[in-house]
Structure 1
Amino acid sequence: MTVIAVLGLGEAGRIYARDLREAGYEVRGFDPYVRLMDDQVGSVGEAVGGADLILSLVGARAAESVARQALPCCREQAVYADLNTASPGLKRTLAELAAAEGVAFADVAVLAPVPRHGARTPLLAAGTGAARFAGLVATANVPVEVIPGGAGAAAARKLLRSVFMKGLAALMLECESAADAAGEREWLRGQIVGELSGDPGQLIDRLIDGSREHAARRVHEVEDAAAYLAELGRPAWVMEASRNWLASLLDEPGRP
């Protein structure tokens, strides 16, 4: 039976521990702050000793310190998979620590909220242990895309995705805040749904190409929009960023 150690039993860690156990793995969980599993062990070393796969879900701030505790206790055939959202640089540091202990390392990026799909949440994996990681969790039907580029490559893609997803979330927050203040929430939601319901590729091209072509006019439009939000007493942080981006396009080489 494959033995998996789960370090960190927050929301995602608990879900992975549950789903992997239900899929037939022996799971050892460790968390120094909470007791959530009947068979939860009392130390990092006890969790990872003899384990085939170690999943780190302790958060980026604790990832390195936990890895330094865990890696010397891992057997050489183990795969240490870091699933924390962290910088590519930190992932490369963790890979170096693993290599020094003769342990394969997988930089794993989680591409959707884990509570939505549990252990079947889509993952990207890179690094020396990426392919082995994918093989070890295949029994649980965990969708893993192994990508080239070494440790840090999966983290880089995750953060690029975060630029879109978290930026989009900020835009939605600003839209809803303004629309509520203006009494136009349902109307604006309808406008947003209509724009997003068409061809997404065409929408992306139109937004980018149109911004470059009409940057000067759009700077003024965004300034007017920000001024209106000020009248409503609502934040215009995204509008301010939009104005800066559009204004920067006016300085691109080759513009008349």
Structure 2
Amino acid sequence: MSAALPQAQTPPQALRIGLVGYGEVGRILAEDLRAAGATVSAYDLKLESPSSDADTMREHAVEFGVELTSSATMVATPADLVVIAVTASQTLDAARSTAAGLRPDTFVLDLDSASPRAKREAADAVHAQGGRYVEGAVMTSVPPYRIRVPLLLGGPHALAIEPLLRRLGFAPSVGSADFGIVSATKMCRSVMIKGLEAMVIESLTSARHYGVEDAVLASLKETFPGIDWEKQAAYFFQRVIQHGRRRSEEVREVAETVRDAGLTPWSAEGTAERQAWMADLAEDGVFGPRGDADFGRSPDWRTEADRLLAQIARPRF
């Protein structure tokens, strides 16, 4: 196979895909790419230190036939396509490390939730090493859709990679030939979505404290009758408990995006603080053992709100 990326008609079975980031999203992509027949290798920063997360990654790799490597550079070297899916704070480091191992003309699809400015800097790093950077904006939660999650592509190479991604099972659409546009779309959406998560947790936990949650939910249902607020609240609590750290980092990038537009990001900064606060409590075991299969998965948001209230009520000395 030549150094350049194969043509769109190349069957998935002939492709070598590198994943930089082997968390929830990376593992879902690995499963679906392996099911399509592609050869998959992966790297994650957490593999460098002993932890339950690292153990989970190694077990998953064995189960699905994914080769784990010791660096992003090593993932990139043999790859026909590299997909970056790390936390927002690692975007530039991941792009630079990936770029160091790229063969000429290899596509790099960056799915990180980072600001338009960070995406442009990542693109510069990849292009400086002869790669072809494609900005990817994942437009909703990955787990329900898996590899077919709605994906906006941005940058001058977006149109060229779209057919290949479709053959691999992705559901891409080209958003813009300019860098930063699809990320701005994602970031502005996240002001609302991640902010709504934080507001629901704050509102309903406070309502639970005062014993008025039923009245609050009834009022929300009257105002927004199309939303099942019980179900939505449970989902918001679950996602923030499980992924608050990643979400808080994303919303800090959202705040930078808002700031770059000339606005003070009061809402985004508050959301980032609430998400990080939840992440701290999750890491402290407030919601149960992190490695447990039921961690943060209560079907009733009241269970998790009561845990928050019990933690808040504990003596601090």
With normalisation by structure 2, the TM-score equals 0.58
Matched AA of 2:219: Q
Structure 2 match to 1:234: none
Structure 1 match to 2:31: 18
Matched, 1:167 2:195: yes
Following TM superposition, by how much is the alpha carbon of 1:138 offset from its aligned partner in structure 2, in angstroms?
0.8
CA separation of 1:167 and 1:139: change in aligned 2, threshold 3 A: same
Q: Which ranges in structure 1 are unaligned for 5 or more consecutive residues?
A: 200-236, 242-256
Contact 1:79 1:132 in 2 (8 A): no
SS of 1:66's equivalent?
helix
Matched AA of 1:6: L
Following TM superposition, by how much is the alpha carbon of 1:135 offset from its aligned partner in structure 2, in angstroms?
2.1
Which of 69, 86, 93 is matched with 1:65 structurally?
93
Which of 127, 137, 143 is matched with 1:99 structurally?
127
Q: How does 1:18-97 map to 2 (within 5 A)?
A: 18-32=31-45, 33=47, 34=54, 35-36=57-58, 37-38=61-62, 39-97=67-125
Structure 1 match to 2:147: 119
Aligned counterparts of 1:28 and 1:82: Cα–Cα separation in 2? 16
Which of 10, 19, 39 is matched with 1:6 structurally?
19
Following TM superposition, by how much is the alpha carbon of 1:175 offset from its aligned partner in structure 2, in angstroms?
2.6
Structure 2 match to 1:193: 221
Matched AA of 1:179: A
Deviation >6 Å, runs of 4+: none
Aligned counterparts of 2:137 and 2:42: Cα–Cα separation in 1? 20
Give me the CA root mean square deviation: 2.3
Aligned counterparts of 1:129 and 1:14: Cα–Cα separation in 2? 25
Matched AA of 1:7: V
CA separation of 1:181 and 1:162: change in aligned 2, threshold 3 A: same
SS of 1:76's equivalent?
coil
Larger of the two Rg values belongs to structure: 1
CA separation of 1:169 and 1:42: change in aligned 2, threshold 3 A: closer
Contact 1:16 1:118 in 2 (8 A): yes
Following TM superposition, by how much is the alpha carbon of 1:126 offset from its aligned partner in structure 2, in angstroms?
0.3
CA separation of 1:16 and 1:198: change in aligned 2, threshold 3 A: closer
- The total of aligned residue pairs comes to 202
SS of 2:75's equivalent?
helix
Contact 1:80 1:129 in 2 (8 A): no
Q: Which ranges in structure 2 are unaligned for 5 or more consecutive residues?
A: 1-13, 48-53, 228-265, 271-317
